[in-house]
Amino acid sequence: MKLLLKFDFTKVCNAVLEQRLEAHQLKYQQTAFGEIELLDKVSEEKLDLFYNDINDFGIDVVKDPKKIVIQKIKDVIVDMVFNEKDINVKTSVYLAEQLNENYSYLSNLFSEVTYTSIENFIILQKIEYTKILLTKEELSLTEIAFKLNYSSVAHLSRQFKNTTGITPSAFQRIIAKRKQIN
């Protein structure tokens, strides 16, 4: 039997972190998505054990200051796209406000470290979310385009094809065939 699972990545990450922090008896406060503050002084040995433990779940502790900012940018974007934040300002303004930094600084740093732009990263996240929504077959492409704030279905379709190499309808046909085989 095959099951199609839907994940709320924020809830999953928070639950894993909470479980592992409690298992290591670490008192903490979550200050933002992907960011916690340890409330007590912790030995390096205990921290190393915790780091190794959460690494098994694909969670890494970021130590490089530039990479910390990059991870925060990615977290805000993923949260914005996958949790369907209704943002009434430009993405650049939203990122600057959320991270309390100048957008030019964020944009330049992101490009320097990741070799791609923030805009391209947003497109990639939107296309990934589009694939998830198309797989569920609950929404039409028009509804998905509207949900993800695209100006038109054609715009979403172009970005989808440029990113994946196939059209959204071809993607849907492939998924439908795979479901028939299984």
Stated pTM of the model:
0.69
Find the range with the poorest average confidence among 4-13, 43-52, 128-137, 139-148. 4-13
What residue segments make up the domains of the chain, in order of their start? Answer: 9-55, 62-115, 117-182
Token couple for 101: 């930094």
DSSP H or E segment with residue 104: helix 103-114
Distance CA 74, CA 78 (A): 6
pLDDT one-digit tens code per residue, 156-180: 999 999 999 999 999 988 888 887 7
DSSP H or E segment with residue 92: helix 91-99
Q: Which fold has domain 117-182?
A: Arc Repressor Mutant, subunit A (1.10.10)
